[in-house]
Amino acid sequence: MAGLSEYCLNTFVSKYPKKISKTIQYGTAGFRTTAEDLSHVMFRMGLLATLRSRVTSAAIGVMITASHNPEPDNGVKLVDPHGEMLDPDWELVATELANVPDDQVENSVKNIIDRFQIDMDKSASVFIGRDTRPSSKSLSEAVTAGVEVLQGVANDYGVVTTPMLHYFVTCHNTDGAYGRPTQEGYCDKLSIAFKALRGETNMNGHYKPELEFDGANGVGALKMSELLRYLGDCLQVNIHNADTTTRGKLNYQCGADHVKSKQVPPSGVPLRRYARCASVDGDADRLVYYFVDDNSAFHLLDGDRIATLVAGYLKKLMEESGLELKMGLVQTAYANGSSTKYISESLNVPVACVPTGVKNLHKKALEFDIGVYFEANGHGTVVFSSDAKRQIKNATKDTSLPASQVAAAERLAYMVDLTNETVGDALSDLLLVETVMHARGWDVTDWLRTYTDLPNRLMKVKVQDRNVITTTDAERRCVTPEGLQDRIDLLVTKCPNGRSFVRPSGTEDIVRVFAEADTADHADTLAVQVAQAVYELAGGVGPLPSL
């Protein structure tokens, strides 16, 4: 094409000018920074999503959220045709387009069109969703402007969870084979499967169908409330932290990240002894469980616990159905060492470790017939291969099989429908957990007894440039700066059952420190010592790190 003047692109660029000089990078969660610095990024991602739609001949998703970050932050990430994260090559394109000066945007767009030989006469469709942050609506309007200036069709889903947007994109691009790309379709699919698995009896053994739910004052509270209308009396969910209108409340002293990172219960949730409690994060893609005991001691049931619970039950159904499927569980270095041992030795399920990031976990999980992946922070799901789904479906209709095998296959089929395979989904995962707990007749103490966690601690160290930290071996070993890994190794050898690693954040100039040991005190000490080593050798800024 001769040029982009017909689109009046420069006119719209001037409406969303670039106000910051710092470079912003498309990381593991897309772009994420303070909301006031993002309007130009949003407009440009609207442009990019439209171009990506034409390249793939499919709808592309744009989700506006900063997930578990504080309310003043915001962010954006693109969703590829099958609900997966943006193609890595296009992450680099996104970073370049977001950072060019205003007077170079038109030329940058033309270069993208030329590089990927994009037919600008093809139709383009972009699905847009947002979380409940006060800044999200205006930022979504900037995305819409970017889509429409390149004559794409913007489909605004309004306030939705991140996993719902992934689901909608997948449903649309599979012509409805995965489900209907609407909130009603999403709720219908999950609730029908859940009620079928629940059966006629809500109580079973130690299991009671009542749950305390922390919505992080975000979209998860809204959508859980709506989902409950479809579930009927199968599950009583008492929703807390459901204020989505009062500024400053989102994720503040509540939500999955707060509970996991601080290892304390959230504010705003009544803690009855042994009551089952769950927290989601600001965009409802993370889930953790917890409870307090007779002594008011806090017990966390995080993503590792959810992974082992779900994987153990799926393996049981596989064995009962007689299906010979290859199942594997994918973790990151953040996984508790005890969970890895339990999975490989007690459940006898293969374990793979990959670098942090959903795209890494998801890609590895696809190598199995049934791939279970969860990060310790509570983000994860299950993926089923096409062949596994075919075998399961055929077994449900095989009249030559014993009734018990057919019944197990039917339960597997409903477990497939109950799972949002596109991405970690706190609401879907919550229903998976409740299904397994009910089926086994367990309460939280039964779940906790499966293995004993090693105490661990997470810390953050602010640095001048996070890129000075490079890693290898699924982020378990530090390559640069020189001498840092030797320091970590020395500290670990002095700590009983010690394990520690560091990795740079994907979105901001901080280094994340993980430490694990035989006692909480030892884990805390190791974390502080490693954090100080990072501070000294990797250009720490601000006060020295402390607990």
Show which residues are catalytic.
Answer: 67
From 259, 262, 294, select the one nearest 277 (Cα to Cα).
259
Residue 499: CB atoms within 10 Å: 19
Which residues lie below 8 Å from residue 22, measured CB to CB, with a gap of 6+?
Answer: none
Answer yes or no: are the C-beta atoms of 362 and 386 closer than 8 Å: no
Answer yes or no: are the C-beta atoms of 193 and 230 closer than 8 Å: no
Residue 239: CB atoms within 10 Å: 17
User: Cα(first)–Cα(last) distance of the chain, in Å?
Assistant: 58
SS3 of residue 458 by DSSP: strand
From 500, 472, 213, select the one nearest 334 (Cα to Cα).
500
Which residues lie below 8 Å from residue 373, measured CB to CB, with a gap of 6+?
Answer: 307, 329, 330, 331, 361, 362, 364, 365, 380, 381, 382, 383
Which residues lie below 8 Å from residue 464, measured CB to CB, with a gap of 6+?
Answer: 509, 539, 541
* Interior/surface letters 381-407, b for 16+ CB within 10 angstroms, e for the rest: bbbbbeebbebbeebbeeeebeeebbe
SS3 of residue 289 by DSSP: strand
Tell me whether the omega of the peptide bond preceding residue 455 falls within 30 degrees of 0, making it cis.
no
* Interior/surface letters 129-157, b for 16+ CB within 10 angstroms, e for the rest: bbbbbebbeebbbbbbbbbbbbebebbeb
Answer yes or no: are the C-beta atoms of 150 and 50 closer than 8 Å: yes
Residue 6: CB atoms within 10 Å: 10
Q: Are strands 31-34 and 60-64 parallel, antiparallel or unpaired?
A: unpaired
Q: Which string of DSSP letters, residue by residue, matches 29-83?
A: TBEEEEGGG-HHHHHHHHHHHHHHHHHHTS-EEEEE--TTS-TTEEEEEEE-TTS
Name residue 23's amino acid.
Answer: T
Answer yes or no: are the C-beta atoms of 281 and 251 closer than 8 Å: yes
Alpha-carbon distances, residue 321 vs 243, 314, 409, 415, 417 (angstroms): 45, 10, 5, 13, 17
Answer yes or no: are the C-beta atoms of 443 and 208 closer than 8 Å: yes
Q: Which string of DSSP letters, residue by residue, matches 83-98?
A: SPBPPHHHHHHHHHHH
Residue 185: CB atoms within 10 Å: 16
Name residue 32's amino acid.
Answer: R
CA 90 from centroid of its chain's CA atoms: 20
